[in-house]
Structure 1
Amino acid sequence: MGRKYSFEVNRTSTASPEALFALEADGPRWAEWGRPLIVQARWARRGTGDPDGVGAVREVGLWPVLIREETLEYELGRKHVYTFAGGRPLKDYRAEVLFTPMAGGGTHLRWTGSFTEPVTGSGPVVAATLRNVIRLFSAKLVKAAETGR
Protein backbone atom coordinates (compact mmCIF):
# COMPACT_ATOMS: atom_id res chain seq x y z
CA MET A 1 0.00 0.00 0.00
CA GLY A 2 1.35 3.45 -0.97
CA ARG A 3 1.88 6.43 1.27
CA LYS A 4 -0.75 9.15 1.72
CA TYR A 5 -0.05 12.64 0.40
CA SER A 6 -1.97 15.89 0.54
CA PHE A 7 -1.94 19.45 -0.74
CA GLU A 8 -3.64 22.73 0.13
CA VAL A 9 -4.38 25.91 -1.81
CA ASN A 10 -5.74 29.09 -0.16
CA ARG A 11 -7.11 32.20 -1.85
CA THR A 12 -9.18 35.21 -0.96
CA SER A 13 -11.85 36.76 -3.14
CA THR A 14 -14.08 39.79 -3.09
CA ALA A 15 -16.91 37.53 -4.32
CA SER A 16 -19.38 35.99 -1.91
CA PRO A 17 -19.11 32.36 -0.78
CA GLU A 18 -22.37 31.68 -2.64
CA ALA A 19 -21.02 33.06 -5.93
CA LEU A 20 -17.83 30.98 -5.71
CA PHE A 21 -19.69 27.86 -4.62
CA ALA A 22 -22.21 28.21 -7.46
CA LEU A 23 -19.41 28.08 -10.03
CA GLU A 24 -17.30 25.35 -8.41
CA ALA A 25 -20.06 22.90 -7.48
CA ASP A 26 -21.99 23.14 -10.77
CA GLY A 27 -20.41 20.55 -13.06
CA PRO A 28 -21.38 21.98 -16.47
CA ARG A 29 -20.22 25.50 -15.54
CA TRP A 30 -16.59 24.34 -15.34
CA ALA A 31 -16.46 24.67 -19.14
CA GLU A 32 -17.28 28.39 -18.74
CA TRP A 33 -14.39 29.26 -16.43
CA GLY A 34 -11.96 26.31 -16.53
CA ARG A 35 -10.51 26.78 -20.02
CA PRO A 36 -8.10 25.85 -21.49
CA LEU A 37 -7.87 22.68 -19.32
CA ILE A 38 -11.62 22.17 -19.14
CA VAL A 39 -13.36 22.42 -22.50
CA GLN A 40 -16.18 19.98 -21.84
CA ALA A 41 -18.15 19.65 -18.63
CA ARG A 42 -21.44 17.89 -17.94
CA TRP A 43 -23.35 15.89 -15.40
CA ALA A 44 -22.83 12.13 -15.81
CA ARG A 45 -25.30 11.55 -12.96
CA ARG A 46 -27.41 13.84 -10.79
CA GLY A 47 -27.40 13.69 -7.01
CA THR A 48 -29.94 12.27 -4.62
CA GLY A 49 -32.10 14.96 -3.07
CA ASP A 50 -30.33 18.02 -4.49
CA PRO A 51 -29.47 17.32 -8.16
CA ASP A 52 -26.05 18.99 -7.73
CA GLY A 53 -25.44 17.41 -4.32
CA VAL A 54 -24.35 14.11 -2.80
CA GLY A 55 -24.06 11.36 -5.41
CA ALA A 56 -23.81 13.75 -8.38
CA VAL A 57 -21.01 12.89 -10.82
CA ARG A 58 -19.54 15.57 -13.06
CA GLU A 59 -17.33 14.87 -16.06
CA VAL A 60 -14.79 17.54 -16.89
CA GLY A 61 -11.93 17.75 -19.37
CA LEU A 62 -11.53 17.36 -23.09
CA TRP A 63 -12.77 14.20 -24.79
CA PRO A 64 -11.43 11.53 -24.76
CA VAL A 65 -9.87 12.49 -21.40
CA LEU A 66 -12.76 13.21 -19.04
CA ILE A 67 -12.28 13.13 -15.27
CA ARG A 68 -15.29 11.87 -13.32
CA GLU A 69 -15.78 13.44 -9.89
CA GLU A 70 -18.44 12.29 -7.45
CA THR A 71 -19.81 14.59 -4.76
CA LEU A 72 -19.47 13.15 -1.25
CA GLU A 73 -20.54 16.16 0.84
CA TYR A 74 -22.49 19.23 -0.22
CA GLU A 75 -23.32 22.19 2.01
CA LEU A 76 -24.83 24.89 -0.18
CA GLY A 77 -22.64 27.98 -0.32
CA ARG A 78 -20.12 26.58 2.17
CA LYS A 79 -18.55 23.19 1.40
CA HIS A 80 -18.08 20.78 -1.50
CA VAL A 81 -16.26 17.47 -1.05
CA TYR A 82 -15.63 15.11 -3.95
CA THR A 83 -13.62 12.10 -5.06
CA PHE A 84 -12.69 10.62 -8.41
CA ALA A 85 -15.56 8.34 -9.42
CA GLY A 86 -14.40 4.77 -9.86
CA GLY A 87 -11.12 5.47 -8.02
CA ARG A 88 -9.41 6.84 -11.09
CA PRO A 89 -7.07 8.45 -11.88
CA LEU A 90 -5.84 8.35 -8.24
CA LYS A 91 -6.61 5.89 -5.49
CA ASP A 92 -8.34 7.28 -2.40
CA TYR A 93 -8.48 10.81 -3.82
CA ARG A 94 -10.56 13.21 -1.74
CA ALA A 95 -10.84 16.95 -2.31
CA GLU A 96 -12.56 19.47 -0.07
CA VAL A 97 -13.42 23.02 -1.08
CA LEU A 98 -14.41 25.37 1.75
CA PHE A 99 -15.92 28.81 1.22
CA THR A 100 -15.66 30.91 4.40
CA PRO A 101 -17.08 34.45 4.60
CA MET A 102 -14.53 37.05 5.74
CA ALA A 103 -15.40 39.70 8.32
CA GLY A 104 -14.90 42.65 5.96
CA GLY A 105 -16.69 40.95 3.05
CA GLY A 106 -15.53 38.49 0.47
CA THR A 107 -14.47 34.89 0.92
CA HIS A 108 -11.56 32.78 2.05
CA LEU A 109 -11.31 29.79 -0.30
CA ARG A 110 -9.50 26.68 0.96
CA TRP A 111 -9.10 23.78 -1.49
CA THR A 112 -7.42 20.66 -0.14
CA GLY A 113 -6.84 17.20 -1.49
CA SER A 114 -5.36 13.89 -0.42
CA PHE A 115 -4.55 10.62 -2.16
CA THR A 116 -2.56 7.41 -1.95
CA GLU A 117 0.48 7.49 -4.21
CA PRO A 118 -0.19 5.35 -7.30
CA VAL A 119 3.42 4.13 -7.62
CA THR A 120 5.96 4.05 -4.79
CA GLY A 121 7.94 7.27 -4.85
CA SER A 122 5.50 9.15 -7.10
CA GLY A 123 3.65 10.93 -4.27
CA PRO A 124 5.68 14.16 -4.11
CA VAL A 125 5.46 14.73 -7.87
CA VAL A 126 1.74 13.93 -8.01
CA ALA A 127 1.04 16.21 -5.00
CA ALA A 128 2.99 19.08 -6.58
CA THR A 129 1.18 18.61 -9.88
CA LEU A 130 -2.24 18.56 -8.22
CA ARG A 131 -1.38 21.64 -6.12
CA ASN A 132 -0.38 23.52 -9.28
CA VAL A 133 -3.53 22.46 -11.15
CA ILE A 134 -5.73 23.51 -8.22
CA ARG A 135 -3.84 26.83 -7.96
CA LEU A 136 -4.71 27.43 -11.61
CA PHE A 137 -8.35 26.39 -11.19
CA SER A 138 -8.81 28.38 -7.99
CA ALA A 139 -7.42 31.52 -9.66
CA LYS A 140 -9.78 31.04 -12.60
CA LEU A 141 -12.68 30.40 -10.22
CA VAL A 142 -11.99 33.59 -8.24
CA LYS A 143 -11.65 35.65 -11.42
CA ALA A 144 -14.90 34.27 -12.85
CA ALA A 145 -16.82 34.93 -9.63
CA GLU A 146 -15.43 38.45 -9.29
CA THR A 147 -15.94 39.49 -12.91
CA GLY A 148 -19.06 37.49 -13.74
CA ARG A 149 -17.21 35.71 -16.58
Structure 2
Amino acid sequence: MAVYTIEIDETFGVPRKKVFALFADHHRFGKMIGAPVKRIKDSDQADPNGAGSVRRVGLGPLSIEETVLEFEPYTLIEYTITSAGPIKNHIGRIHFSDTNDGKTRLRYIISFEDIVPFSGKLIRSSLELGLRRGIRRVPELA
Protein backbone atom coordinates (compact mmCIF):
# COMPACT_ATOMS: atom_id res chain seq x y z
CA MET A 1 0.00 0.00 0.00
CA ALA A 2 1.10 3.55 -0.70
CA VAL A 3 1.97 6.04 2.04
CA TYR A 4 0.19 9.39 1.82
CA THR A 5 1.36 12.56 3.53
CA ILE A 6 -0.18 15.92 4.30
CA GLU A 7 2.11 18.78 5.33
CA ILE A 8 0.77 22.09 6.53
CA ASP A 9 3.14 24.87 7.55
CA GLU A 10 1.42 28.08 8.69
CA THR A 11 2.36 31.14 10.71
CA PHE A 12 -0.06 33.14 12.87
CA GLY A 13 0.14 36.46 14.65
CA VAL A 14 -1.39 34.78 17.71
CA PRO A 15 0.54 33.71 20.84
CA ARG A 16 1.70 30.10 20.78
CA LYS A 17 -0.16 29.29 24.02
CA LYS A 18 -3.46 30.29 22.42
CA VAL A 19 -2.82 28.36 19.20
CA PHE A 20 -1.78 25.28 21.18
CA ALA A 21 -4.87 25.55 23.41
CA LEU A 22 -7.10 25.55 20.34
CA PHE A 23 -5.55 22.37 18.94
CA ALA A 24 -5.23 20.64 22.32
CA ASP A 25 -8.87 21.00 23.34
CA HIS A 26 -10.74 18.25 21.51
CA HIS A 27 -14.06 20.14 21.46
CA ARG A 28 -12.53 23.41 20.19
CA PHE A 29 -10.49 21.50 17.60
CA GLY A 30 -13.73 20.00 16.31
CA LYS A 31 -15.31 23.44 16.00
CA MET A 32 -12.26 24.64 14.08
CA ILE A 33 -12.37 21.80 11.54
CA GLY A 34 -16.16 21.74 11.34
CA ALA A 35 -16.64 18.18 12.58
CA PRO A 36 -18.09 16.81 15.80
CA VAL A 37 -15.26 15.85 18.15
CA LYS A 38 -15.85 14.46 21.62
CA ARG A 39 -13.33 13.36 24.22
CA ILE A 40 -14.36 9.85 25.27
CA LYS A 41 -11.42 9.08 27.55
CA ASP A 42 -9.49 11.50 29.72
CA SER A 43 -5.71 11.54 29.93
CA ASP A 44 -4.00 10.65 33.19
CA GLN A 45 -1.99 13.88 32.78
CA ALA A 46 -2.94 17.23 34.32
CA ASP A 47 -4.63 18.18 31.03
CA PRO A 48 -7.54 15.79 30.30
CA ASN A 49 -6.76 16.17 26.56
CA GLY A 50 -3.15 15.02 27.04
CA ALA A 51 -1.36 11.75 26.26
CA GLY A 52 -3.67 8.78 26.56
CA SER A 53 -6.84 10.76 25.93
CA VAL A 54 -9.14 9.44 23.22
CA ARG A 55 -11.45 11.49 21.03
CA ARG A 56 -14.20 10.43 18.65
CA VAL A 57 -14.26 12.39 15.40
CA GLY A 58 -17.40 12.26 13.26
CA LEU A 59 -20.86 10.81 13.75
CA GLY A 60 -22.09 7.28 14.30
CA PRO A 61 -20.66 4.55 12.09
CA LEU A 62 -18.61 7.10 10.13
CA SER A 63 -16.68 8.20 13.21
CA ILE A 64 -13.12 7.30 14.08
CA GLU A 65 -11.26 7.27 17.37
CA GLU A 66 -7.93 9.01 17.81
CA THR A 67 -5.59 8.51 20.74
CA VAL A 68 -3.11 11.18 21.80
CA LEU A 69 0.36 9.59 21.99
CA GLU A 70 2.53 12.57 22.93
CA PHE A 71 1.54 15.84 24.53
CA GLU A 72 4.13 18.47 25.34
CA PRO A 73 2.32 21.67 26.38
CA TYR A 74 2.77 24.52 23.91
CA THR A 75 5.13 22.42 21.75
CA LEU A 76 3.78 19.09 20.45
CA ILE A 77 0.68 16.97 20.00
CA GLU A 78 1.01 13.56 18.35
CA TYR A 79 -1.90 11.20 17.81
CA THR A 80 -2.94 8.09 15.91
CA ILE A 81 -6.20 6.50 14.78
CA THR A 82 -7.01 3.61 17.11
CA SER A 83 -10.31 2.43 15.64
CA ALA A 84 -11.14 0.59 12.46
CA GLY A 85 -11.40 2.86 9.45
CA PRO A 86 -10.45 3.32 5.82
CA ILE A 87 -6.76 3.93 6.60
CA LYS A 88 -3.97 2.33 8.63
CA ASN A 89 -0.63 3.32 10.13
CA HIS A 90 -1.95 6.84 10.67
CA ILE A 91 0.14 9.33 12.62
CA GLY A 92 -0.61 13.02 13.09
CA ARG A 93 2.06 15.33 14.47
CA ILE A 94 1.40 18.98 15.30
CA HIS A 95 4.44 21.04 16.27
CA PHE A 96 4.19 24.60 17.64
CA SER A 97 7.11 27.05 17.79
CA ASP A 98 7.84 30.77 17.97
CA THR A 99 9.22 32.67 15.00
CA ASN A 100 11.92 35.34 15.24
CA ASP A 101 9.30 38.04 14.75
CA GLY A 102 7.09 36.88 17.65
CA LYS A 103 4.55 34.88 15.68
CA THR A 104 3.54 31.24 16.05
CA ARG A 105 4.60 28.63 13.53
CA LEU A 106 2.44 25.53 13.15
CA ARG A 107 3.76 22.44 11.37
CA TYR A 108 1.09 19.76 10.97
CA ILE A 109 2.14 16.51 9.32
CA ILE A 110 -0.11 13.51 8.80
CA SER A 111 0.90 10.24 7.19
CA PHE A 112 -1.15 7.12 6.58
CA GLU A 113 -1.64 4.14 4.29
CA ASP A 114 -4.87 3.28 2.55
CA ILE A 115 -6.65 -0.02 3.13
CA VAL A 116 -8.81 0.08 0.02
CA PRO A 117 -6.48 0.33 -2.98
CA PHE A 118 -6.42 3.75 -4.65
CA SER A 119 -8.60 5.39 -1.97
CA GLY A 120 -5.65 7.20 -0.36
CA LYS A 121 -5.60 10.09 -2.82
CA LEU A 122 -9.25 10.88 -2.21
CA ILE A 123 -8.89 10.57 1.56
CA ARG A 124 -5.76 12.75 1.55
CA SER A 125 -7.45 15.44 -0.57
CA SER A 126 -10.60 15.54 1.57
CA LEU A 127 -8.69 15.55 4.84
CA GLU A 128 -6.25 18.22 3.71
CA LEU A 129 -9.02 20.46 2.39
CA GLY A 130 -10.92 20.25 5.70
CA LEU A 131 -7.82 20.88 7.78
CA ARG A 132 -6.63 23.83 5.70
CA ARG A 133 -10.11 25.37 5.80
CA GLY A 134 -10.18 25.01 9.59
CA ILE A 135 -6.62 26.21 10.13
CA ARG A 136 -7.44 29.44 8.29
CA ARG A 137 -9.84 30.14 11.19
CA VAL A 138 -7.11 29.96 13.87
CA PRO A 139 -6.73 33.75 14.28
CA GLU A 140 -10.45 34.22 14.93
CA LEU A 141 -10.83 31.18 17.22
CA ALA A 142 -7.62 31.26 19.28
- Whether TM-score is above 0.5 comes out as yes
Counterpart of 2:58 in structure 1 is 61
Counterpart of 2:141 in structure 1 is 144
Distance 1:56 1:109 in 2: 22
Alignment of 1:85 onto 2:79: no
Task: Quote how far apart the aligned CAs of 1:64 are.
Answer: 6.0
Superposed CA offset, 1:44-90 (max 9, x none): 00112232211101223345643322101111011111111224342
Percent same amino acid at aligned positions? Answer: 28
Is the Cα contact below 8 Å between 1:83 and 1:93 reproduced in 2?
A: yes
Structure-to-structure mapping, 1:1-149, within 5 angstroms: 2-34=1-33, 37-38=34-35, 40-50=36-46, 51-62=48-59, 65-145=62-142
Superposed CA offset, 1:90-132 (max 9, x none): 2111111111111111111111100011222222222222221
Distance 2:137 2:60 in 1: 21
Distance 1:78 1:69 in 2: 19
Matched residue of 1:72: which SS? strand
Is the Cα contact below 8 Å between 2:86 and 2:116 reproduced in 1?
A: no
Distance 1:21 1:127 in 2: 24
Is the Cα contact below 8 Å between 1:5 and 1:124 reproduced in 2?
A: yes
Structure 1 runs not aligned, ≥5 long: none
Cα 1:3–1:64 change in 2 (3 A) is closer
TM-score by length of structure 2 reads 0.86
Is the Cα contact below 8 Å between 2:32 and 2:135 reproduced in 1?
A: no
TM-score by length of structure 1 reads 0.83
Distance 1:5 1:31 in 2: 23
Distance 1:142 1:117 in 2: 33
Measured on the aligned residues, the alpha-carbon RMSD in Å equals 1.9
Is the Cα contact below 8 Å between 1:6 and 1:114 reproduced in 2?
A: yes
